[in-house]
Structure 1
């Protein structure tokens, strides 16, 4: 949407190049759209635009951009010229405006034209109008995504309730019936059959409770540590939890970390033949890192390329979708280490 909006803006005005920065609460900026950038700013995957700071971003952070403004010089272009890069196409200055909806700010819209050091009041008013429309569209998209997230949570809760009220209760009844049947017979073969049925039903009941917990993690409101310990208790695993640093995580990041831990613990219970897991979480100002280690049987990770595990694939996709990095290290007889690092 941003790329299309920027292209249409340039087509209908005298502006010839433009770019959009999203700026997070931590002050870090991300280049989300660009069009017709000069060679000096476009090379190396727009490295000059993605790295370092600049005057317009600094003004944004200080709250000094209340309306569309002429930036006297562009620090990024100045740096490119100082490094004797070619291909600035005569662009030395740009105009900038904040993308916002109401009081909520998202980032910056910057435009430039070769040979222009200053834009007219009418051009800045036009730029403000475009920025207002883009900001409103961003807000609508965010609200739509929030509605989808709420709907997904409601559906998960409904499914968890249905499983608890139906399948979970049936499995519990089978467990009691099998126990009663074993006590009512004196025939050893029949007794063993009932015991086997009771064991299978109890195992299925444990799996079902774990599935219900995954759909509706009751402990997550108390933080990741409480949620992970609660899930480990359901699986019968001892969790050694180490935590370094404290931060208020975005809900998506927190859920991603928890879901990855869930999947890792489930795999440990099913495949690793280990009853103890060490989870270490380290939180910095802009990212969270998690390590999950067991001393179980391990496996050959080379097989993941030929026949990828659904669980490992799920964890990797969750982390990468959140913009993070995922790594798994294991070998037969030496346990498994899973690491995930996610920025926020």
Structure 2
């Protein structure tokens, strides 16, 4: 029976109508979800329902040999065994064509390699499926994967069927692209929310010494990096300070060459010793990226993260996020340093105010009392010994208290500390009537907190000599060797029997000196015997673990000695 021209037109029109209806239904299905896998599964099921075909599956494809089996419908038992293992392993002819650039449009696959493997390995019933059509999923010049469609006994797809499948694949590709853009927007929104949370958190950290530990822990928890490291630039080195690995924070505090700073400027990290140390902490060399903490042109330190994936697989947004985190940290560090300086200035101002008040009120009144006692003595009857002795005692006591008050004022406001610890303690000893012989072996710069500690310990030691040693001479030795500052104060006075095991019975002054030293991680020793004088020794290691990170970011003082 011959088909007339008019009948052919009616059949073509009907086919066009069916295709349009099919594409319309597919489009409606794709628009129902923004989640990729559920969307692909539902559109595959709908496509098979409309076209009356039996079986289909979708691969999303990356660089060879990586692909993802993301959707399937009515797979024969031979391909569905072991949780669909045959579909998730090894390559096949359609993927080979995709990777080598030969799959640019819908084609007939003469034989399915996965089906052939199933028959050869006797994996089970193939359901009569031998061939399938393969269609590249693409949109806007970007390729995403492969759509495979087949039916039992169907060994060939007509051109109009392939064209329909090609149109459907284009719709799927467009939907994938839209879904990816939506996902990126959601990810960007989530990242901005996380950055806001992180910024609020680090801005509240007021103590600079708490920064490394709190920052690495927060970054790992908030942004899901498996390993995080915090480096701090010091005067002559870059220090790997703290790491977060295996859910725990660890203080490393190992120093490396400043050459790392230039590596960071060049956006690389090639120091072999540092890389080896990071690997010991669980960082994977080729899965690690680093970013500098910068303020203007100055590099303050670095953040290093590892997420157990290749650097090439890090998204650009990951790198931008890490850079934003580093900027937050750098600003917060500067803020904490400024707050620390502000507190120090406020404390210094309060000490100065108290020193002025003592000088202007109590000090002047004690001086007036001494003069009054001296004047009364001149007018008192010589024969009244009790009155004369009482006035002498008043004058002596007022002079002692006045001297102690001047020493207290000096402690509150040590004028001339910028001249160095040695010169300042020498002047302070002179104010107590003690001649201090100062010996200095070398000079260095030290953190202000150590300078303050040495000053207060030296003050208390000279006070003890003045009160108890019954001598007017003392020796002060200051040394700086191998990053360690040591101060020794020696007198040849009466001395006392010192026993470390019963330390609590000694004066509050000795206790405060030891506590001040130990609080900063220093070493404190005292050697004294009756009739042999006393020697006090304190040591602080500026670069090792002894300071426990307490001075790394403090404002530097002047010349130490």
**Alignment-derived partner of residue 315 in structure 1:** 513
Higher mean C-alpha displacement, 213-222 vs 330-339: 330-339
Higher mean C-alpha displacement, 308-317 vs 124-133: 308-317
- Of structures 1 and 2, the one with the larger relative CO (CA 8 A, separation 6+) is 1
Residues 96-139 of structure 1, C-alpha deviations (whole Å, 9 max, x = no match): 22223334433221111235455444322211110110111111
Is the 1:247–1:284 contact (alpha carbons within 8 Å) kept by the matching residues of 2? no
**Alignment-derived partner of residue 303 in structure 2:** 109
**Alignment-derived partner of residue 324 in structure 1:** 522
Q: What is the SS of the residue equivalent to 2:471?
A: coil
1:88-167 residue pairs with structure 2 within 5 A? 91-93=284-286, 94-116=288-310, 119-167=314-362
1:17-32 residue pairs with structure 2 within 5 A? 17-27=227-237, 29=239, 31=241
Alignment CA distance shift 1:52-1:194 (3 Å): closer
2:468 aligned with 1:263: no
CA distance in 2 between partners of 1:331 and 1:109 (Å): 53
Residues 156-188 of structure 1, C-alpha deviations (whole Å, 9 max, x = no match): 111101101111111111111111222222211
Give the RMSD, CA atoms, in angstroms: 2.8
Is the 1:301–1:329 contact (alpha carbons within 8 Å) kept by the matching residues of 2? no
Aligned residues, how many?
327
Is the 2:238–2:255 contact (alpha carbons within 8 Å) kept by the matching residues of 1? no
CA distance in 2 between partners of 1:79 and 1:196 (Å): 70
**Alignment-derived partner of residue 535 in structure 2:** 337
Is the 1:225–1:241 contact (alpha carbons within 8 Å) kept by the matching residues of 2? yes
TM-score if structure 1 supplies the norm length? 0.84
Offset at 1:321?
3.8
Alignment CA distance shift 1:313-1:230 (3 Å): same
2:35 aligned with 1:35: no
Offset at 1:207?
0.3
Is the 1:273–1:297 contact (alpha carbons within 8 Å) kept by the matching residues of 2? yes
Alignment CA distance shift 1:305-1:123 (3 Å): same
Is the 2:355–2:413 contact (alpha carbons within 8 Å) kept by the matching residues of 1? yes
Offset at 1:76?
4.7
CA distance in 2 between partners of 1:235 and 1:30 (Å): 46
Unaligned stretches of 5+ in structure 2? 1-204, 206-210, 543-561
Offset at 1:311?
1.4
Offset at 1:239?
0.6
Alignment CA distance shift 1:11-1:255 (3 Å): closer
**Alignment-derived partner of residue 50 in structure 1:** 253
Is the 2:517–2:538 contact (alpha carbons within 8 Å) kept by the matching residues of 1? yes
Q: What is the SS of the residue equivalent to 1:333?
A: coil
Q: What is the SS of the residue equivalent to 2:263?
A: coil
The counterpart of 2:264, out of the listed 40, 61, 65, is: 65
Higher mean C-alpha displacement, 141-150 vs 292-301: 292-301
The counterpart of 1:292, out of the listed 472, 486, 489, is: 489
Is the 1:17–1:37 contact (alpha carbons within 8 Å) kept by the matching residues of 2? yes
Alignment CA distance shift 1:287-1:30 (3 Å): farther
Is the 2:240–2:256 contact (alpha carbons within 8 Å) kept by the matching residues of 1? no
**Alignment-derived partner of residue 203 in structure 1:** 400
